[in-house]
Protein backbone atom coordinates (compact mmCIF):
# COMPACT_ATOMS: atom_id res chain seq x y z
CA UNK A 1 0.00 0.00 0.00
CA UNK A 2 1.27 3.45 -0.85
CA UNK A 3 0.33 6.87 0.48
CA UNK A 4 1.86 10.11 1.64
CA UNK A 5 3.99 8.36 4.26
CA UNK A 6 4.78 5.20 2.32
CA UNK A 7 7.47 5.58 -0.34
CA UNK A 8 6.48 4.19 -3.67
CA UNK A 9 8.55 1.16 -4.70
CA UNK A 10 10.98 1.95 -7.49
CA UNK A 11 12.07 -0.25 -10.36
CA UNK A 12 15.10 -0.12 -12.57
CA UNK A 13 14.09 -0.03 -16.21
CA UNK A 14 16.50 -0.58 -19.08
CA UNK A 15 15.11 -0.05 -22.55
CA UNK A 16 16.48 0.40 -26.01
CA UNK A 17 15.28 3.64 -27.60
CA UNK A 18 16.35 4.54 -31.12
CA UNK A 19 19.14 1.98 -30.84
CA UNK A 20 20.54 3.36 -27.56
CA UNK A 21 20.17 1.58 -24.23
CA UNK A 22 18.89 3.70 -21.36
CA UNK A 23 18.47 2.84 -17.70
CA UNK A 24 16.38 4.76 -15.17
CA UNK A 25 14.78 4.06 -11.82
CA UNK A 26 11.07 4.80 -11.81
CA UNK A 27 7.83 3.95 -10.00
CA UNK A 28 5.88 1.03 -11.45
CA UNK A 29 3.11 3.35 -12.54
CA UNK A 30 5.34 5.70 -14.59
CA UNK A 31 3.72 5.98 -18.00
CA UNK A 32 5.99 5.17 -20.90
CA UNK A 33 5.18 8.56 -22.43
CA UNK A 34 6.33 10.31 -19.25
CA UNK A 35 9.38 8.05 -19.02
CA UNK A 36 10.44 9.05 -22.53
CA UNK A 37 9.81 12.75 -22.00
CA UNK A 38 10.86 13.30 -18.40
CA UNK A 39 13.38 10.56 -17.61
CA UNK A 40 15.04 10.29 -21.03
CA UNK A 41 14.42 13.89 -22.23
CA UNK A 42 13.04 12.59 -25.52
CA UNK A 43 10.41 15.28 -25.83
CA UNK A 44 9.58 14.56 -29.46
CA UNK A 45 6.86 12.23 -28.22
CA UNK A 46 3.90 14.44 -27.37
CA UNK A 47 1.08 13.87 -24.92
CA UNK A 48 -2.46 15.01 -25.65
CA UNK A 49 -5.36 13.11 -24.13
CA UNK A 50 -3.46 10.51 -22.05
CA UNK A 51 -6.42 8.21 -22.67
CA UNK A 52 -5.35 6.43 -25.84
CA UNK A 53 -7.63 8.51 -28.05
CA UNK A 54 -5.62 11.20 -29.85
CA UNK A 55 -2.55 9.28 -31.01
CA UNK A 56 -0.12 12.14 -30.26
CA UNK A 57 2.00 9.86 -28.08
CA UNK A 58 2.38 7.10 -30.67
CA UNK A 59 5.79 5.45 -30.81
CA UNK A 60 6.99 2.22 -32.38
CA UNK A 61 7.43 -0.79 -30.12
CA UNK A 62 9.32 -3.48 -32.00
CA UNK A 63 8.21 -1.66 -35.14
CA UNK A 64 4.50 -1.59 -34.29
CA UNK A 65 2.67 1.66 -33.47
CA UNK A 66 1.67 1.90 -29.82
CA UNK A 67 0.13 4.59 -27.62
CA UNK A 68 2.90 5.27 -25.14
CA UNK A 69 0.36 6.82 -22.74
CA UNK A 70 -1.26 3.39 -22.41
CA UNK A 71 1.94 1.56 -21.46
CA UNK A 72 3.97 1.65 -18.30
CA UNK A 73 7.70 2.13 -18.63
CA UNK A 74 8.30 -1.20 -16.90
CA UNK A 75 6.36 -2.92 -19.68
CA UNK A 76 8.87 -1.64 -22.24
CA UNK A 77 11.71 -3.71 -20.84
CA UNK A 78 13.29 -5.94 -23.48
CA UNK A 79 11.55 -4.12 -26.31
CA UNK A 80 13.03 -1.97 -29.06
CA UNK A 81 11.43 1.46 -29.02
CA UNK A 82 11.54 4.03 -31.78
CA UNK A 83 10.45 7.60 -31.22
CA UNK A 84 10.19 10.39 -33.76
CA UNK A 85 13.78 11.34 -32.90
CA UNK A 86 14.87 7.99 -34.29
CA UNK A 87 13.21 8.49 -37.67
CA UNK A 88 15.48 11.22 -38.97
CA UNK A 89 17.16 14.51 -38.25
CA UNK A 90 16.70 18.00 -39.62
CA UNK A 91 19.63 17.38 -41.95
CA UNK A 92 18.67 13.84 -42.84
CA UNK A 93 14.92 13.54 -42.65
CA UNK A 94 13.21 10.21 -43.00
CA UNK A 95 10.78 9.81 -45.89
CA UNK A 96 7.67 10.60 -43.86
CA UNK A 97 9.28 13.68 -42.32
CA UNK A 98 10.41 14.84 -45.75
CA UNK A 99 6.92 14.33 -47.13
CA UNK A 100 5.33 16.35 -44.32
CA UNK A 101 7.80 19.14 -45.00
CA UNK A 102 7.14 19.14 -48.76
CA UNK A 103 3.36 18.83 -48.50
CA UNK A 104 2.83 21.12 -45.52
CA UNK A 105 1.35 18.26 -43.58
CA UNK A 106 1.31 20.18 -40.32
CA UNK A 107 0.26 23.47 -38.82
CA UNK A 108 1.01 23.68 -35.10
CA UNK A 109 2.84 20.35 -35.28
CA UNK A 110 1.69 19.05 -31.91
CA UNK A 111 0.11 15.93 -33.36
CA UNK A 112 2.84 15.45 -35.96
CA UNK A 113 5.21 13.03 -34.16
CA UNK A 114 2.29 10.63 -33.69
CA UNK A 115 1.40 10.88 -37.36
CA UNK A 116 5.03 10.37 -38.41
CA UNK A 117 5.42 7.20 -36.36
CA UNK A 118 2.00 5.85 -37.35
CA UNK A 119 2.58 6.45 -41.07
CA UNK A 120 6.11 5.04 -40.91
CA UNK A 121 4.80 1.75 -39.57
CA UNK A 122 1.85 1.78 -41.99
CA UNK A 123 4.04 2.20 -45.07
CA UNK A 124 6.18 -0.73 -44.00
CA UNK A 125 3.08 -2.90 -44.34
CA UNK A 126 1.40 -1.00 -47.19
CA UNK A 127 4.04 0.74 -49.30
CA UNK A 128 1.70 1.94 -52.08
CA UNK A 129 -1.59 3.08 -50.54
CA UNK A 130 -4.47 4.76 -52.32
CA UNK A 131 -5.77 8.07 -50.96
CA UNK A 132 -8.67 6.23 -49.35
CA UNK A 133 -6.30 3.78 -47.68
CA UNK A 134 -4.15 6.69 -46.51
CA UNK A 135 -7.18 8.28 -44.88
CA UNK A 136 -7.98 5.03 -43.15
CA UNK A 137 -4.37 4.69 -41.98
CA UNK A 138 -4.42 8.03 -40.18
CA UNK A 139 -7.95 7.73 -38.82
CA UNK A 140 -6.66 6.90 -35.33
CA UNK A 141 -4.65 10.12 -35.05
CA UNK A 142 -6.34 13.41 -34.27
CA UNK A 143 -5.15 16.77 -35.57
CA UNK A 144 -6.93 19.77 -34.17
CA UNK A 145 -5.85 22.30 -36.74
CA UNK A 146 -5.72 20.91 -40.26
CA UNK A 147 -8.30 19.58 -42.65
CA UNK A 148 -6.22 16.41 -42.99
CA UNK A 149 -5.93 16.96 -46.74
CA UNK A 150 -2.23 17.76 -46.59
CA UNK A 151 -1.60 14.89 -44.21
CA UNK A 152 -3.15 12.51 -46.74
CA UNK A 153 -0.93 14.08 -49.42
CA UNK A 154 2.03 13.51 -47.11
CA UNK A 155 1.25 9.81 -46.78
CA UNK A 156 1.14 9.45 -50.56
CA UNK A 157 4.29 11.52 -51.03
CA UNK A 158 6.11 9.50 -48.39
CA UNK A 159 5.21 6.35 -50.31
CA UNK A 160 6.72 7.93 -53.44
CA UNK A 161 9.90 8.91 -51.60
CA UNK A 162 10.29 5.42 -50.17
CA UNK A 163 9.81 3.89 -53.60
CA UNK A 164 12.26 6.29 -55.23
CA UNK A 165 14.87 5.50 -52.61
CA UNK A 166 14.83 1.95 -53.98
CA UNK A 167 14.93 3.10 -57.59
CA UNK A 168 17.27 6.11 -57.55
CA UNK A 169 16.14 9.67 -58.27
CA UNK A 170 13.01 11.02 -56.58
CA UNK A 171 9.96 11.19 -58.87
CA UNK A 172 7.94 14.31 -59.59
CA UNK A 173 5.42 15.00 -56.87
CA UNK A 174 2.02 13.76 -57.90
CA UNK A 175 0.60 13.47 -54.39
CA UNK A 176 -1.74 16.40 -55.12
CA UNK A 177 -3.42 14.54 -57.93
CA UNK A 178 -3.53 11.25 -56.08
CA UNK A 179 -5.01 12.88 -52.97
CA UNK A 180 -8.09 13.58 -55.11
CA UNK A 181 -8.72 9.85 -55.63
CA UNK A 182 -11.27 9.74 -52.82
CA UNK A 183 -13.53 12.41 -51.30
CA UNK A 184 -12.13 14.17 -48.19
S1 LIG B 1 -1.78 11.10 -25.41
FE2 LIG B 1 -1.74 9.01 -25.86
S3 LIG B 1 -3.39 8.69 -27.22
FE4 LIG B 1 -3.56 10.79 -26.64
S1 LIG C 1 -0.86 20.23 -36.66
FE2 LIG C 1 -1.79 21.07 -34.89
S3 LIG C 1 -2.80 19.45 -33.89
FE4 LIG C 1 -2.06 18.65 -35.74
- Over residues 140-154, the pLDDT tens digits come to 999 998 779 999 999
Res. 182: pLDDT tops 60: no
Q: Is 151 in the pocket of ligand 1 (CB under 6 A)?
A: no
| Res 178 pLDDT > 90 | no
Asked, for residue 5, whether it belongs to a domain, the answer is no
Residue 62 maps to a domain: yes
Residues 79 and 94 in one domain: no
Full residue range of the structural domain in which residue 80 is found? 10-86
Same domain, 22 and 36: yes
Tell which of 27, 51, 86 closes a domain. Answer: 86
Count of structural domains within the chain: 2
| pLDDT band at residue 7 using 50, 70 and 90 as cut-offs | confident
pLDDT value at 1 more than 60:
no
Same domain, 21 and 94: no
Q: Evaluate whether 160 touches 173 at the Cβ level (below 8 Å).
A: yes
* Backbone phi and psi for residue 31, each to the nearest 5 degrees, phi listed first: -65, 145
CB 11 within 8 A of CB 26: yes
Nearest ligand 1 atom to the CA of 67 is 2
User: Is the beta carbon of 85 within 6 A of some atom in ligand 1?
Assistant: no
pTM, two decimal places: 0.89
Kindly give the distance from the C-alpha atom of residue 106 to the centroid of ligand 2, in angstroms, as a whole number: 6
Is 50 near ligand 1, meaning CB less than 6 Å away? yes
Mean pLDDT of all residues belonging to the chain: 91
Q: Is 113 touching ligand 1 by the criterion CB < 6 Å?
A: no
| Residue 54 CB less than 6 A away from ligand 1 | yes
Amino acid sequence: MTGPDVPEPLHEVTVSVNGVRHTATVPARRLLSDFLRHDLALTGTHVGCEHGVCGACTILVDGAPMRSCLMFAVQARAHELTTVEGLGTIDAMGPVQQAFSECHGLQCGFCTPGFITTITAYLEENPDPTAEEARDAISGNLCRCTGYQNIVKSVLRAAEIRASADLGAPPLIDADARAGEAPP
